[in-house]
């Protein structure tokens, strides 16, 4: 059965894809809509379109929060010939200029745990974004002001957050994670706390924050994750200064040893100028 959208604020709906718990957000205005992220495959995207059409008949603009497969590989299925697709400039470049490498990375990531999904990913048609966001872009979605903002390097070098001020909703993409620890594989762990601080400046005490994966959260959850990321960054800097192996930094990570090791290695690369 196709997962349905749930309204979390006036005209803002969230749907969670069951395999990887990815959140898709649908913002509905007067005669227009905005779809934030498009999932992994053509099949998932078709199910998503069915669920979205149960909410609204309006044409949509698409936003990709970043270039990882589970947030954008459905573009080709969900976008018509004239559909605008927005993404941060680096994400757009990755999907436009390095599509084979992006597909290959998706296949390698999924082939052990989800081999059938991996095979689909390897043959998915990629449609790159049509509009690049550098720092901030404001959209009019059927009379609703929606802000697309790049808060700096964090989960990747190309994250976008989507702010719907009239509903007090902030779509954080994978800059915030609820269903598991943050993913550090392409991250900038020394800069991530600053990106999250930028995101927090858009919030009020009542803001609903939609993470990339998992349940919607409140601002206190984001503040706690910011504090954990700041501690992770401090541990990395201290370990690098003391020439400690990344494994020693990982042992003290607030996110656990395995995510902490990936974060430490990425952070050391930042400090060495190789990230």
Please report which confidence band the pLDDT of residue 95 belongs to, taking 50, 70 and 90 as the band edges: very high
**Token duo for residue 202:** 């858009």
pTM value is: 0.96
- The CA-atom distances, in angstroms, between 168 and each of 9, 41, 49, 152 are 8, 30, 25, 22
Mean pLDDT of 92-117: 95
Q: What is the pLDDT of residue 32?
A: 98
Q: What is the pLDDT of residue 3?
A: 87
Residue 271 lies in a domain: no
Q: What is the pLDDT of residue 275?
A: 82
- Summary mean pLDDT of the chain: 97
What is residue 243's DSSP assignment? Answer: T
**Token duo for residue 29:** 């205005």
> Percent of the chain, pLDDT > 90?
97
Residue 238 lies in a domain: no
Domain containing residue 66: CATH number: 3.60.15.10
Residue 243 lies in a domain: no
Residue in 43, 93, 108, 115 with CA at minimum distance from that of residue 73: 43
What is residue 183's DSSP assignment? Answer: P
Residue 115 lies in a domain: yes
Q: What is the pLDDT of residue 223?
A: 98
Chain-centre distance for alpha carbon 260: 20
Q: What is the pLDDT of residue 37?
A: 98
What is the per-residue pLDDT across 10-19, written as a single tens digit (0 to 9) for each?
999 999 998 8
Q: What is the pLDDT of residue 58?
A: 98
Indicate if the pLDDT at residue 226 is higher than 80.
yes
Residue 128 lies in a domain: yes
Residue 264 lies in a domain: no
Residue 161 lies in a domain: yes
Indicate if the pLDDT at residue 242 is higher than 60.
yes
Indicate if the pLDDT at residue 1 is higher than 60.
no
Q: Dihedral (C-alpha) 89, 94, 99, 101: value to the nearest 10 degrees?
A: -170
Domain of 127, in residue numbers: 6-218
- The CA-atom distances, in angstroms, between 107 and each of 16, 165, 185, 193 are 22, 37, 15, 30
Number of domains in the chain: 1
Which residues are CB-contacts of 198 (< 8 A; sequence separation ≥ 6)? 149, 151, 152
What is residue 217's DSSP assignment? Answer: B
What is the per-residue pLDDT across 148-203, written as a single tens digit (0 to 9) for each?
999 999 999 999 999 999 999 999 999 999 999 999 999 999 999 999 999 999 99
Residue 75 lies in a domain: yes
- The CA-atom distances, in angstroms, between 88 and each of 134, 161, 272 are 6, 10, 26
Q: Dihedral (C-alpha) 56, 19, 167, 74: value to the nearest 10 degrees?
A: -50
Residue given tokens 């994670």 in the structure block: 177
Which residues are CB-contacts of 57 (< 8 A; sequence separation ≥ 6)? none
What is the per-residue pLDDT across 40-84, written as a single tens digit (0 to 9) for each?
999 999 999 999 999 999 999 999 999 999 999 999 999 999 999
């Amino acid at each position: 059965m196709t997962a349905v959208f749930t309204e979390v604020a006036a005209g803002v709906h969230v749907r969670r894809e069951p395999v990887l718990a990815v959140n898709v957000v649908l913002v509905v205005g007067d005669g227009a809509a905005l779809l934030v992220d498009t999932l992994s495959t053509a099949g998932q995207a078709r199910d998503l379109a069915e669920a979205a059409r149960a909410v609204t008949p309006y044409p949509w603009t698409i936003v990709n929060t970043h270039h990882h497969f589970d947030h954008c590989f459905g573009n080709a299925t969900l976008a018509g010939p004239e559909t605008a697709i927005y993404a941060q400039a680096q994400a757009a470049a990755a999907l436009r200029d390095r599509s084979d490498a992006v597909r290959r990375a998706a296949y390698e990531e999924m082939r052990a745990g989800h081999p059938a999904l991996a095979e689909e990913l390897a043959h998915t048609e990629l449609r790159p974004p049509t509009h690049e966001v550098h720092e901030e872009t404001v959209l009019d979605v059927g009379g609703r002001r929606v802000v697309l903002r790049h808060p700096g390097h964090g989960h990747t070098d190309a994250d976008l957050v989507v702010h719907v001020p009239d509903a007090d909703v902030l779509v954080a993409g994978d800059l915030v994670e609820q269903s598991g620890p943050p993913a550090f594989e392409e991250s900038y762990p020394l800069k991530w706390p600053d990106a999250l601080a930028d995101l927090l400046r858009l919030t009020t005490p009542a803001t609903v924050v939609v993470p990339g994966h998992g349940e919607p959260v409140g601002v206190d959850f984001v503040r706690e994750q910011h504090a954990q990321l700041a501690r992770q960054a401090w541990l990395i800097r201290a370990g690098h200064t003391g020439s400690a192996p990344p494994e020693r930094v990982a042992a003290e990570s607030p996110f656990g040893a395995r995510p902490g090791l990936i974060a430490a290695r990425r952070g050391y690369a930042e400090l060495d100028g190789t990230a």
